[in-house]
Structure 1
Amino acid sequence: MKIRKYLASDKLNIIKLWEQAFPNNPKHSQPLAMLEAKLAVDDLIFIVEYQSEFAGACIAGYDGHRGWLYAVAVSQNHRRLGIGKALIEHAVLELTKLGCFKVNLQIRDTNHNVAHFYKSLGFEVEPRISMGKRLSHLDV
């Protein structure tokens, strides 16, 4: 297994992976738009290759205070091989190197399997209310 930073040559593979992993995402979270927006800010995108195949990807974020994990996905053919765990651990290590002391993530409240996966990696459900505001000037 090899984990590395995103390369431009990964574009089609990452878009395909995220389309499969996150169907029904709102327009502002469509894979191409998400990828382009992230690359305009930084390159905290990690790719997993397993036996020379594109197996997974994750966007990480760091605002100088807390880190975030976004769009973590492992392809259907590569699940249950420890790839997701290795990807998360790699992203957390890279965030730690930047000075991050806490990593957050959000998952849909109906995604119980993923919640169990993150709990197994030491993440905890926190008593928070997640709020968001769509900006009216964006066509989202």
Structure 2
Amino acid sequence: MRIRTFAEGDGEAVVALWKSAGLTRPWNDPWADVRCKRTVQPEMFFVAEDGSGGVVSTAMAGYDGHRGWIHYLAVADEQRGTGLGRALVERAEAALAALGCPKVQLQVRPDNTGVVDFYERLGYAPYEVVDLGKRLIPDG
């Protein structure tokens, strides 16, 4: 496996992986997320490829000066349990730490219960918060 930054031409494979991993939602355009990340800290948009060059995992990281975030961690079904997810999280954490980021957070949808154990094994702990959001630019 090789972990690298997102490159031109990865979009189709990345969006297909996100869809198969259940990360997309009908109201959220994953292509808009790809385009946006390519303009803001694109060096923190990671993909892992298998021996044939196919994209089998992704992670987006970002740092706002206060804390870091990890989004869109996805691992292809056939690669789960191989340590690839851990490797991508560690790559994202290292990139954030290199920027002086003191803390990293992520969000897990309530219906994605299987991944909570994975993150807890990596040292993440749940926080009791109310997550609020407001769209400033319409999706799409």
TM over 0.5: yes
CA distance in 2, matches of 1:78, 1:31: 22
Could you tell me which residue of structure 2 aligns to residue 86 of structure 1?
A: 87
Gaps in structure 2 of 5+ consecutive residues = none
Q: Tell me the alpha carbon deviations over residues 57-110 of structure 1, each in whole angstroms, 9 at most, x when there is no partner.
A: 011111011000011100112111110011101111111001111000000122
The alpha carbon displacement at 1:23 in A equals 5.5
Structure 1 residue aligned with 2:9: 9
Q: What amino acid is aligned across from residue 131 of structure 1 in structure 2?
A: L
Matches within 5 A, 1:20-31: 20-22=20-22, 25-27=25-27, 29-31=28-30
Residue in 2 aligned with 1:37? 36
Q: How does 1:67-86 map to 2 (within 5 A)?
A: 67-86=68-87
Secondary structure of 1:58's aligned partner = strand
Q: Distance in 2 between matches of 1:42 and 1:56?
A: 19
Identity %: 38
TM-score for both structures, normalised by structure 2:
0.90
Q: 1:4 to 1:139 in 2, by over 3 A?
A: closer
**Larger helix percent:** 1
Q: What's the counterpart of residue 108 of structure 2?
A: 107
Unaligned runs of at least 5 residues, structure 1: none
Change (3 A) 1:101 1:23: closer
Regions of 4+ moved over 3 Å: none
Q: Compare 45-54 and 108-117 and name the one that shifted more.
A: 45-54
TM-score in terms of structure 1 length = 0.90
Letter in 2 for 1:91: A
State the Cα RMSD in Å.
1.7
Per-residue CA deviations over 1:17-50 (Å, capped at 9, x if unaligned) read 11212365143x3221110111122202001123
Secondary structure in 1 matching 2:37? helix
Alignment CA distance shift 1:97-1:124 (3 Å)? same
CA–CA separation in structure 2 for the residues paired with 1:38 and 1:127: 28
Aligned pairs, how many? 138
2:55 alignment partner, SS class: strand
